[in-house]
Amino acid sequence: MIGRLALLLLGGMLLPLLGYANADLDQRVDALYDEELGELFLWFHQNPELSHMEHKTAARLASELEQLGYDVHTGIGGTGIVALMDNGDGPLVMFRADMDGLPVQEKSGLPYASTAKQVDWDGNEVYVMHACGHDVHVTSLVGTARIMAERRDQWQGTLMLIGQPAEERVGGARLMREDDIWTRFGQPDYAMALHVTSTVPTGMLIADPAPYSGADTVDILIKGVGAHGASPHSGVDPVLLGAQIVVALQSVVSRNLPPRRPGVITVGSFHSGTKHNIISDSAKLQLTVRSESASDRALLLAGIKRVAENSGRLMGLPEDMLPEVVVYENEGVPPTLNDIAMLERMRGVWTDQLGEGIFYNEERLAMGAEDFPFFTVDPYIPSVYFAVGGTDPADFERQAAGGPPVPSHHSPLFKIVPEPSVELGVKASVTGLMDLLQAP
């Protein structure tokens, strides 16, 4: 008896010193996956819905959270959900999961692949797939909700869980804010969110200062003077002007933005003309612009305007016919930047609770965007957005050996391994929330 007790005590003292994971939470989350989260993931995966149309997903998420004792509010910003658990004096902490799928036909070859279809925004029936892994996010949110409810004697404050519509169309977070959620349900002291990622092996997290870039949607409307294709001297050719603008725009990032600061200007569409021998009188360019600070954003947008207008002058257009630059303020998103103090705090918690080796170091090479900052930028709410690994490490080894590449997000081949992804999502969420939700 005594020997065993001593062993237990010794174990209890040694485990934290060894950086051993939170074994009790490990076991509970593992059991929970077998009991209900595995089945729940399959249901979400096989019932994906397009942005703004997440009706079944929201209803299932709402009923799961209601059964766990949360005070659930539905129909926010469209199909959005706010679920609250008030557990005494303490901070208000928000955790968000996005719910939407994509108009992609799943070709992953998985036995549980989605065959769902839905009528899209233009009235066409399309295949729908959770090709970005938001099914992992909602499943993990339910797991987190359950463990937080089971362990409410270990935390204090109010937990706010958010099911967000339409992340893929960067519209859902804004719509939920326009529904006045902070006034109605309280303004969070902290906010968190996660994304599963196929570029990271299962069992690992990324928690870096700048997870996503800001994005702007920009049109350049070009006026020309129409003419016969055989008489270019009597017109102003908007195709040539557009082409010069596309080329000249390349100098903005390469010559105006300081070289160690990130930025992208991509012309994604260029439309003009109707026929071989007609010089058109208009052209339209559509751009996406990426940046990571307000000043860089201003620099890039000013550069686009300067290039567009002066290219018009170069072609001899009068001042009232210069190309017009339209920035769609409602379609832009600010960069997702983590609060540095909160990030350090969460990284400390995850190192202690999930082990020293939990973080994956990945150099961020692209400038993807997210609409989560609509929750955190105005007013400023300290936030941490982190990534959870979703690909079997063996798949990376096969890829490195010349095998099939690991499919990217939004691909018909996209797949993640649900069990370890959901489980780590829950463990990282619960340990982070437990640390934030403490008595004042």
Strand 214-223 to strand 125-127: parallel, antiparallel, or no bridges (unpaired)? Answer: unpaired
Please say which residue, 97 or 287, places its beta carbon nearer to Zn ion.
Answer: 97
The residue sitting closest to Zn ion, measured at its beta carbon, is 132
Which residue is catalytic, options 49, 168, 292, 435?
168
Question: Which token pair is 319?
Answer: 């001042």
CB nearer to Zn ion: give 28 or 130.
Answer: 130
Shortest separation between residue 372's beta carbon and Zn ion, angstroms: 10
Point out which span in 129-137, 153-161, 228-236, 429-437 binds Zn ion (CB under 5 A).
129-137
Known catalytic residue at 98? yes
**By C-beta, is 62 or 132 nearer to Zn ion?**
132
Supply the minimum distance, in Å, between the C-beta of residue 407 and Zn ion: 14
Which stretch, 17-25, 124-132, 381-389, 432-440, contacts Zn ion (CB under 5 A)? Answer: 124-132
Residues near 194 by Cβ (< 8 Å), separated by ≥ 6? 97, 137, 140, 385, 386, 387, 388, 425, 428, 429
The DSSP secondary-structure symbol of 51 reads: T
Out of 49, 54, 64, 98, which one is annotated catalytic? 98
- What's the min distance (Å) between Cβ of 336 and Zn ion? 12
Comparison of 61 and 132: residue with beta carbon closer to Zn ion: 132
Question: How buried is 413 (Cβ within 10 angstroms: 0-12 exposed, 13-18 middle, 19+ buried)?
Answer: middle
SS percent in the chain: helix, strand, coil, step 5: 40, 25, 35
Q: Which amino acid is at 305?
A: K
Q: Of 284 and 364, which CB lies nearer to Zn ion in the complex structure?
A: 364
Instruction: Give the whole-angstrom CA distance, residue 206 versus residue 201.
Output: 10
- Closest separation between CB of residue 101 and Zn ion, Å? 10
Give least dist CB 230 to Zn ion, A.
Answer: 51
Spatial strand order in the sheet of 383-391: 71-76, 80-87, 157-164, 92-98, 190-201, 383-391, 205-206
Q: Could you tell me which stretch among 1-9, 128-136, 146-154, 261-269 binds Zn ion (CB under 5 A)?
A: 128-136
Under rule CB under 5 A, how many of the chain's residues touch Zn ion?
A: 1
Distance CA 159, CA 185 (A): 11
β-strand 117-119 against 205-206: which pairing, if any? unpaired
Per CB under 5 A, the segment of 126-134, 156-164, 326-334, 390-398 that binds Zn ion is 126-134
Q: List, as one string, the DSSP characters of 207-270.
A: --S--B-EEEEEEEEEE-B-EETT-GGGSB-HHHHHHHHHHHHHHIIIIIS-TTS--EEEEEEE
Smallest gap from residue 196 Cβ to Zn ion (A): 8
Coil, strand or helix at 415: coil
Interacting span for Zn ion (CB under 5 A) from 5-13, 43-51, 132-140, 232-240: 132-140
Positions 185 through 244 that interact with Zn ion (CB under 5 A): none
423 is catalytic: no
Rounded to whole angstroms, the Cα distance separating 255 from 259 reads 8
Q: Given the complex with Zn ion, which of 132 and 289 has the nearer CB atom?
A: 132
The torsion region of residue 75 among left (phi > 0), alpha (psi -120 to 50) and beta comes to left
Our finding on whether 132 is near Zn ion (CB under 5 A) is: yes
- Mark the segment that binds Zn ion (CB under 5 A) among 125-133, 243-251, 287-295, 313-321: 125-133
Residue 342 has what DSSP assignment?
Answer: H
Dist. CA 274–CA 259, nearest whole Å: 40
> Under DSSP, is residue 322 helix (H, G, I), strand (E, B) or coil?
coil
Closer by beta carbon to Zn ion, 199 or else 311: 199
Least distance (Å) between residue 133 CB and Zn ion: 6
- CB of 134: closest distance to Zn ion in angstroms? 6
Query: What is the rounded CA–CA span in Å between residue 200 and residue 203?
Result: 9
User: Which is closer to Zn ion, CB of 315 or CB of 428?
Assistant: 428
Q: Give catalytic residue positions.
A: 98, 168
Residues of this chain that interact with Zn ion (CB under 5 A) are 132
